[in-house]
């Protein structure tokens, strides 16, 4: 029989990993400002419904597969 895991334990586990992930994400964003700028540029193109140059390359670098 499977023993039920108490909810506070699950919450604690997720909270710990979420904060850790968030820290890693922030440091990655700070370390790579060009990627952030590229992402902003892509979102601008997307809102204006334009096709940016080298779209596939830009999308793959920013993980925006939805517009390709």
Residue 15 domain-assigned (yes or no): no
How many CB atoms neighbour CB 14 within 10 A? 10
Q: How many structural domains is the chain composed of? A: 1
What is the spatial distance between Cα 7 and Cα 29, in angstroms, rounded to a whole number?
33
Residue 27 domain-assigned (yes or no): no
CB of 65 closer than 8 Å to CB of 57: no
Residue 49 domain-assigned (yes or no): yes
Nearest C-alpha neighbor of 55 from the set 38, 35, 34, 36: 38
State which residues form the domain around 60: 34-68
6-48 pLDDT tens trace: 677 777 878 888 888 888 777 776 666 677 677 777 777 677 7
What is the spatial distance between Cα 56 and Cα 21, in angstroms, rounded to a whole number?
27
- The reply to whether the predicted model has a pTM over 0.85 is no
Residue 47 domain-assigned (yes or no): yes
């Amino acid at each position: 029989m499977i023993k039920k895991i108490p909810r506070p334990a699950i919450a604690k586990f997720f909270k710990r990993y979420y904060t850790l992930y968030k820290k890693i994400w922030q440091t990655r964003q700070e370390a790579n400002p060009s990627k952030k700028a590229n992402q902003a540029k892509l979102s601008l193109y997307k809102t204006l419904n334009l096709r940016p140059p080298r779209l596939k390359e830009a999308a793959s670098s920013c993980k925006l597969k939805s517009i390709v």
